[in-house]
Amino acid sequence: MSDFLPDAFVFDGQGSAATTSSQTTNLALQDAQLPLGSTLLLACHQAFLKEFASLSPADQARSGIDINAFLAPRALIDVPPAFRANAVLANTNLYLIQLLRYLANVDPASFDAPPAADLIGFSTGVFAAVVVATSTSIPQLLVHAIETFRFAFLARIPRPPLHLCRPRRTGTHRSRTLESRSLRRHPRRGLRCRLQIQRPTHGSAHALAAFTASAVLPSCSSKPAAIHALYHAPALLHTKAAVLASLASRAVRMPAYTDLARPLRSPITGEPVTEDEAGAPTLAEAIVDMTLLHPVNFDTVARALHASASPSRAFRVANIGPGTSLARSLARSLHGLEVSVADWSSTTTSRASAAAFTTSVKAAKFDDARQREPIAVVGMAVNLPGAKDADGLWSLLENGLNTVSEIPQNRFSVAQYNNAGGKRALKTKFGNFMDAPDAFDNAFFRISPREARSMDPQQRVLLQVAHHALESAGYVPNGAPSEDPDTFAAYVGVATNDYVMNLRNDVDVYYSTGTLQAFLSGKLSYAFGFSGPSMVIDTACSSSIIAIYQACRALTDGDCNAAIAGGVNVIGSPDMYIGLDRAHFLSPTGQCKPWDASADGYCRSEGCGLFVLKRLSDALAENDHILGVIRGIEVNQSAHAESITHPHVPTQVQLFHKLLAASGVPAQRVSVIEAHGTGTQAGDPTELESIRAVFSVGRSTANPLHVTSVKANIGHAEAASGAAGLAKLLLMLRRRALPPVISLKTLNRASRTSPSTTPSSTRR
């Protein structure tokens, strides 16, 4: 890896012929094959499709974009020839090429402590420069990159009544830009370093030809530049207001001045951008001013750099490009200085190897991701479809069984809803179900028959599985220092409450305590005499994992000395089925099919999984039988996701980095990932992309990463799904075997894999 540490990065604007050259395009496509580049391109492509869809029909037409030509992410890099004069696509294309080049070249360690390198973006090169200037970690860069991509897209949507930004497609009257680098600004006419003279009715090409032949340009060379929209002109003031309004209405979360971690040089003044220097209340508005309204003062930037450079050593410039002429012109302008230019724009660099990104985990610093004491799993019990206990679950997995069935009559009459019309219609008739979840030994738990009848089956299942989990852990009240009932906690994940509907015509004295979700953990704690924290968690499908997360945090923070945690889900009413079906969550054909080309939604399931947890030091001191160790557990929220069914890749990548940093485990040491893998066309490929971006870096086929999902066997247990996945992982560790993903027949074409990372379709 090179030791070249730049003093300045140069991001060129539009106009260079190198931007659309085959060399630049092919190199960008190579950069997009790297894990981080792939993540960036996929996320920006999703943002592109979403932003285009949000435009009004009139704005879509004015944009000149045929969305059918851009359904593949690579089209944003290798823009079809018919659209290379499109102002919107020229902006986003340059932006992606520059960021991909930067990611392929930069040393990830530079994110550890941001160097004082200047970021210099000329004209629309400012968009990529501001992302680098405001990012101190790779996850943060990805988040900023997506929001700034949205900005770059929206900035060039043509807005009436000014139509100068709209290129003509045919004839000789296309918009043209004349580039004349040696011409100073004319005091009267206000000509810029890059001249924009556009005559949409009569054809600006003729006007520029006449201007070129005039006496105004007697001593400088000039040539047409491939810029097809008006920039750096006060006439765009109304466009500025429209762009800022568009950013606000779409909640584009651009970085702020306070995010600037490296000096971003203003192409107007040459000074580092600050709120006072820019005279704009937000960094987004300052970028609009730099790209749309004010001229690029090349000589002013050069003078400012010269004044800040040390004469005692070489001034190092990294050229991001595209092309080299601007960076070399800048170098020649730094009179009296020794200047070294590294061209990162046109050569495959040693930094682009996947191995270079193996340190990216270390580069991601999180104040709240401190390493905590590991948590030992010392007991486990499950009751899942086709598996009343852990041994039954392993037998089911080992034999590749599928537990899908039609909805049993003892839950509700599915035919009544399959044949119904209107809002009570149900298209699917499938699910995965436990045997007799209502069966309950009330006497064992000292509960009267009358109270038991009003108890949600989720309470009944929970108490019985908790008993087996504690039995698995060898729990004896006060049998060990950590097994004091006064410091034993309970954390239960749950999301649905079907039994409320079932009892609406049979409300008894025990109705409240039998159906309120708070009593799920409360009855568990009461039944076993636990006085530690007792909480119910509802975060939908992640409920059981978040319950385990809360238990782990309580243990490391000293809120308890032992905990039982997990989740439960029992289906007893058609209402949630109908609601999920109407929202197109559910498969009409049967079981979940993770990563398969035929995936068409998830199949509901039920079950319960509970785990007894202790601090690892206590478990070792008390000679517990340790089933597994939780070295790290972290959580975040995909606030930037397009919808609930579309995971947000940068947010997931950020969570993975945070988890690895907290656990102190290198990504290459992870060999199996039990993924969410619900079997949807949109969610599964995106989840796999985020996994690849972190765990596939520097990985060879000799060290494969296996991705699995228990949902292929037992369906999506919703609030209990995380517990089911953890149980499967613990059983794989115990048995030293890897069951196949039985639904995987033909890999979904959108699920990009690599030889070292793929869903496991065979037994190992």
Confidence bin at 46 (pLDDT 50/70/90):
confident
**Segment holding 544, helix H or strand E:** helix 543-557
| Strands of 628-630's sheet in order across | 534-537, 488-493, 562-569, 607-615, 375-383, 628-630
Of the spans 408-417, 545-554, 688-697, which averages the highest pLDDT?
Answer: 545-554
CA distances from 356 to 95, 102, 434 (A): 23, 13, 48
Q: Is 156 exposed, middle or buried (0-12, 13-18, 19+ CB in 10 A)?
A: buried
Which domains does the chain carry? 8-163+234-352 (3.40.366.10), 177-182+191-225 (no CATH), 375-759 (3.40.47.10)
pLDDT above 90 covers a percentage of the chain that reads 46
What's the CA gap between 672 and 2, in Å, rounded?
Answer: 34
The pLDDT tens digits of the residues spanning 713-731 come to 999 999 999 999 999 999 9
**14 against 243, higher pLDDT:** 243
Task: Answer whether residue 92 shows pLDDT above 50.
Answer: yes
- CB neighbours (10 Å) of residue 636? 13
The pLDDT tens digits of the residues spanning 144-154 come to 999 999 999 99
Task: Answer whether residue 165 shows pLDDT above 60.
Answer: no
What's the CA gap between 233 and 164, in Å, rounded?
Answer: 11
Torsion angle (degrees, nearest 10) of CA 38, 41, 42, 47: 160
Tell me which amino acid residue 589 is: T
What's the CA gap between 2 and 686, in Å, rounded?
Answer: 33
The pLDDT tens digits of the residues spanning 547-596 come to 999 999 999 999 999 999 999 999 999 999 999 999 999 999 999 999 99
The pLDDT tens digits of the residues spanning 617-635 come to 999 999 999 999 999 999 9
The answer to which of 322-326, 394-398, 477-481, 596-600 has the lowest mean pLDDT is 322-326
What's the CA gap between 692 and 712, in Å, rounded?
Answer: 21
Predicted pLDDT of residue 224: 64
Per the listing, tokens 């033909």 go with 746
Task: Answer whether residue 130 shows pLDDT above 60.
Answer: yes
Contact at 8 Å (CB) between 564 and 470?
A: yes
Predicted pLDDT of residue 223: 60
Task: Answer whether residue 238 shows pLDDT above 80.
Answer: no
**CA neighbor of 690 nearest in space, from 745, 630, 752, 609:** 752
What's the CA gap between 341 and 4, in Å, rounded?
Answer: 10
Maximal C-alpha separation, the chain:
104
Write down the mean pLDDT value for the chain.
Answer: 83
The pLDDT tens digits of the residues spanning 629-652 come to 999 999 998 887 777 777 888 889
**CA neighbor of 404 nearest in space, from 433, 383, 438, 376:** 433
Contact at 8 Å (CB) between 123 and 192?
A: no
